[in-house]
């Protein structure tokens, strides 16, 4: 298989883990930690990052191998990364930096790059949007640049792109695949919450009320508190509620930022219900993960699936990939239906 050539919009913690992961699994035969070591005849080492954009002065102009470890990134180092030959280009700022993250980001004074031209010259075929959650205008700008350059687009952010009909239509008209919105974690709090609710519901338990509260560190958590708390809460609540065949009291979302957690995230679950003869049942759990690596496995799957969509000449929102890898796809499906749709697409 030829290399899957991708461009990264934003060289933050997720980009750091993604690039380190490519290096890690290219060197190690052990595929532990990957859900699909081989997907559509492709492995993670078939993915090649050929372009990257950021606005922080500590990253712009640097080789990607250096930029992924520059502040304010705090994702754990899991692998040495040799020189890539890819220099981080100055992206377009727009709304990429919120009020609460201004003190954390040192905006470069370098001129903004011609994004479409760099995508074309680097021969990128897939653009991955890893901007902060609140960068709605910037996310839409890069989606348009992807169309101009003839690239597929992966929207890992909560900004509605794949679930926005007018934008989906533009990718369909350009004969390009589009997937999103809001990338799920490999083992995230939302997926765990939904699995617990389904397990209980299938066992005859009636859920009366449930909540999921997330507390995190890092720049993404700061930005979420400042700009997208309500939007992400709505997305997560809707996603969690879809696990039950009836309506009940559900609340799910990010609640606070704790600096010393750095790239870690603590999630707290509360489930209250009744089983046989209205006997009460209570579940109270804490769950901790590290954010950046949690995105790696799913992003590997999504990138390879989008490459397959390009080979199949699929245009517009690729729904089987959207329901598999994202919290807010154009159409919500149950976990089982999403898995089946993804398997059918791969077959």
Q: Does this model's pTM top 0.95?
A: no
- Give the pLDDT confidence score for residue 332 in this predicted structure: 85
- Give the pLDDT confidence score for residue 190 in this predicted structure: 86
Per-residue pLDDT of the chain (347 residues), as tens digits, is 689 999 999 999 999 999 999 999 998 878 899 999 999 999 999 999 999 999 999 999 999 999 999 999 999 999 999 999 999 999 999 998 877 778 889 999 999 999 999 999 999 999 999 998 889 999 999 999 999 999 999 999 999 999 999 999 999 999 999 999 999 999 888 889 999 999 999 999 999 999 999 998 877 777 677 666 787 788 889 889 989 999 999 999 888 888 888 888 899 999 999 999 999 999 999 999 998 899 999 999 999 999 999 999 999 999 999 999 998 999 988 888 999 999 999 99
Q: What's the token pair of residue 120?
A: 């074309």
Residues 223-246 pLDDT 10s: 677 666 787 788 889 889 989 999
- Give the pLDDT confidence score for residue 100 in this predicted structure: 74
CA atoms within 13 A on the CB side of 187: 9
Burial of 2 (0-12, 13-18, 19+ CB in 10 A): exposed
Using DSSP, state whether 330 is helix, strand or coil.
coil
Distance of CA 89 to the CA centre of its chain: 21
List for the chain the helix, strand, coil content (%; round to 5): 40, 25, 35
> Would you tell me how many other CB atoms lie within 10 Å of the CB of residue 145?
23
Across the beta sheet with 177-179, the strand order is 89-90, 47-54, 4-9, 126-129, 152-155, 177-179, 316-317
Select from 250, 257, 194 the least CA-distant residue to 223.
Answer: 257
- Give the pLDDT confidence score for residue 226 in this predicted structure: 66
Cα gap 38→25, rounded to integer Å: 11
- Give the pLDDT confidence score for residue 233 in this predicted structure: 87
Cα gap 135→339, rounded to integer Å: 30
- Give the pLDDT confidence score for residue 313 in this predicted structure: 97
Cα gap 338→238, rounded to integer Å: 16
The structural domains of the chain, ordered by start, are 4-184+293-346 (3.40.50.720), 189-291 (3.30.360.10)
Strands (E), 45-155: 47-54, 89-90, 126-129, 152-155
**What's the Cα-to-Cα distance from 40 to each of 4, 25, 50, 312, 324, rounded to whole Å?**
12, 17, 21, 12, 15
């Amino acid at each position: 298989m030829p290399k899957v050539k991708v461009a990264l919009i934003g060289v933050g913690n997720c980009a750091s883990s993604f690039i380190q992961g490519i290096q890690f699994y290219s060197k190690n035969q052990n595929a532990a930690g990957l859900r699909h070591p081989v997907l559509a005849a492709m492995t993670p080492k078939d993915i090649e990052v050929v372009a990257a954009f950021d606005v922080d002065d500590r990253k712009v102009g640097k080789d990607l191998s250096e930029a992924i470890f520059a502040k304010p990134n705090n994702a754990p180092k899991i692998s040495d990364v040799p020189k890539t030959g890819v220099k981080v280009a100055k992206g377009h700022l727009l709304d990429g930096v919120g009020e609460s993250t201004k003190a954390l980001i040192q905006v470069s004074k370098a001129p903004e790059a011609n994004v479409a031209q760099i995508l074309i010259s680097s021969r990128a075929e897939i653009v991955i949007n890893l901007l902060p959650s609140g960068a709605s205008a910037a996310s839409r700008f890069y989606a348009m640049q992807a169309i101009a350059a003839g690239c597929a687009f992966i929207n890992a952010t909560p900004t509605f792109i794949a679930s926005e009909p007018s934008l989906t239509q533009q990718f369909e008209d350009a004969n390009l695949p589009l997937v999103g919105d809001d990338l799920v974690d490999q083992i995230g709090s939302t997926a765990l919450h939904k699995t617990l609710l389904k397990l209980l519901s299938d066992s005859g338990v009636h859920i009366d009320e449930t909540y999921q509260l997330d507390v995190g560190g890092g720049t993404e958590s700061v930005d979420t508190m400042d700009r997208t708390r309500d939007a992400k809460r709505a997305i997560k609540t809707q996603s969690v509620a879809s696990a039950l065949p009836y309506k009940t009291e559900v609340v799910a979302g990010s609640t606070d930022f704790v600096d010393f957690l750095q790239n870690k995230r603590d999630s707290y679950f509360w489930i209250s219900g009744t089983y046989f003869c209205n006997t009460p049942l209570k579940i109270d759990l804490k769950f901790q993960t590290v954010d950046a690596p949690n995105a790696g496995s799913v992003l590997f799957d999504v990138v390879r699936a989008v490459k397959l969509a390009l080979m199949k000449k699929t245009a517009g929102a690729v729904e089987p990939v959207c329901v598999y890898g994202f919290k807010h796809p154009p159409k919500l499906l149950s976990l089982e239906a999403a898995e089946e749709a993804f398997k059918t697409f791969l077959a």
